[in-house]
Structure 1
């Protein structure tokens, strides 16, 4: 998949996606994606858009912004970093995120 950069910054991407109805804040857990009390497996969501940002000089500045929707129709944003953040994530979830 070729990366496309539609927005200058992670903040720009998040703000525009929120205006488009992606209002839920999703977070990663060991083997699922969470929002509030709900938890979703890899099969229970679809990635609609991906924006990847690479830091010019600091790998800690690297992030990926996902516009995702659950099978229940909950639209939201998932922001992931690189390195240490991915160590505890299941292989199945990583495969889904890195389609």
Structure 2
């Protein structure tokens, strides 16, 4: 697996590799605002995952997910914050993002 010094560097490289869709987390899946497509946990795979922490403030930690749809039509990125697992998400989605 690749390593990156910063979140910005990781995003730039993964976009070059075709991960161009911006996903946002929803209670029961991930959503692309541009296409208004919601993928359930069964409809996507996590290809790569990178964790970044601010040494000065560990609560500023984020995880970057490189995601592809099972049907192969979408590849994109999801940035999850430190508190992502504390919100009210379906168990299936939480298991997928672990």
Fold similarity call, TM over 0.5: yes
Q: Structure 2: 5+ residue runs without aligned partners?
A: none
RMSD: 1.7
TM-score by length of 2: 0.87
Aligned length: 95
* Equivalence map 1:1-99=2 (5 Å): 6-36=3-33, 37-73=36-72, 74-83=74-83, 86-98=86-98
TM-score by length of 1: 0.86
Provide Cα deviations, 1:62-97, integer angstroms capped at 9, x if missing partner.
000011001232000011001267412222111101
Q: Which has the higher strand share?
A: 2
Preserved contact between residue 5 and residue 52 of structure 1 (Cα < 8 Å)? no
